[in-house]
Amino acid sequence: MNTTTPPSTPQDPAVAQPAGTVPGTVTPGARPRVLSGMRPTGALHLGHYHGALKSWVQLQSTHDCFFFVADWHALTTHYEHREGLEQSVYDMVVDWLAAGVDPEKATLFIQSRMPEHAELFTLLAMSTPSSWLERMPSYKDAVAENRELATFGFLGYPLLQAADILIYKAAFVPVGEDQAPHVEVTREVARRFNHLYAPLLPEPQALLSDTARLPGLDGRKMSKTYGNAIAMRDAPEVVEQKIRQMPTDPQRVRRHDAGEPMRCPVWPLHQVYTDEATRQWAADGCRSAGIGCLDCKQPLIDAIQREQAPWRARAEELLADPKKVHWIVEVGTERARAVARKTLREVRSAIGLAY
């Protein structure tokens, strides 16, 4: 058996155009397939919306989208804290649907309901050098910080991700820059499989998000862990209170002090939520002390409340009918299973396990 890996194809893994290095990546006339997942963290916040969900909603009209709840991935780091997992799964799916993810256009499913992913993971693990996983920056950094993450599951997490992607022969994987190495390792795994057995698994391409990371209320990355998030379904008065309490330019102590937007954690929110004319008004007013910070924050409060109103209305309907949400996931899971099983049959046969 030849165990060498062929050289990389010259393609840039992070470009937004259909792949095609392996037959079957994109059938002419078919919409290219996109695969993306989220760990079940419960109710989502605006960072999740602007960092991922918004692009999911756009992609579902142009691509064959498979979106999944990555609950096994959640266990790779939180294997001891599994209480509330089910609630988190369905809260997250409600937010997907509330944001406009449409189960008629996209396939929504739950990873742990798909043992097919685990089988492909096992088969890929046989020929994946452990050094490929040990060198992942996400693994090295996390284990250096927390020895409890030195588990086989956490080491294997990028390979499980590779199985998640390859089992659907996805052409594109929307990711943030920090996840791009995981798509690269998926490409290496696919190349190795194709070289060893048969050219079955297309090399996916990373679809890098062009949305700037939405900062949290304190200017750091928005995260529930930091307590600096605005939830997608926060009530209007909660949004108002959170924004009004946001810190501002530390050098603008009194109303008549001139400020500098570039030093202010509120400013990046203006980049996302307000138009050019409003930003000009805010910047001029800040630098001349012509407006107060509460004046500056008001257009943000209005814009966020406007954005959230339809989400809250749709979520209320879904929360009143939990069976409907379960049914959407059921249908999506079975649709995904049909695709996954087909790939697995091909994979088993290529390896010589079709008996």
Interface ranges with ligand SF4 (CB under 6 A): 248-249, 252, 259, 261, 264, 266-267, 282, 286, 291, 293, 296-297
DSSP code for 195: H
Closest to 347 (Cα-Cα) out of 190, 155, 232: 190
Contact 164, 117 (CB under 8 A): yes
Name which of 155 and 283 has its Cβ closer to ligand SF4: 283
Known binding residue 47? Answer is yes
Neighbour count for residue 333 (Cβ, 10 Å):
20
Is 40 annotated among the ligand-binding residues?
A: yes
Return the number of the residue (140 or 255) whose C-beta is nearest ligand SF4: 255
**Is 164 flagged in the annotation as binding?**
yes
Beta carbon of residue 222, minimum distance to ligand SF4 (angstroms, whole number): 17
Neighbours of 284 (CB within 10 A): 12
- Alpha helix locations (H) across 292-353? 293-319, 322-351
First to last CA, the chain: 21
290 assigned ligand-binding residue: no
Residue 69 backbone phi and psi in degrees, to 5: -85, 115
Rounded to a whole number of angstroms, the minimum distance from the CB of residue 212 to ligand SF4 is 17
Residue 20 annotated in ligand binding: no
Report in angstroms how near the CB of residue 230 gets to ligand SF4 at its nearest: 16
Quick one: 110 or 269, whose CB is closer to ligand SF4? Answer: 269
Whose CA is closest to 224, among 88, 99, 57, 319? 88
The nearer residue to ligand SF4, 33 or 297, going by C-beta atoms, is 297
Q: Min. distance of Cβ 50 from ligand SF4 in angstroms?
A: 20
C-alpha to C-alpha distance for 314 and 95, rounded to whole angstroms: 9
Measured from the CB atom, the residue of 47 and 259 that comes closer to ligand SF4 is 259
Q: Which residues contribute to the annotated binding site?
A: 39-41, 47-48, 164, 176-178, 214
Q: Which residues contribute to the annotated binding site for ATP?
A: 39-41, 47-48, 176-178, 214
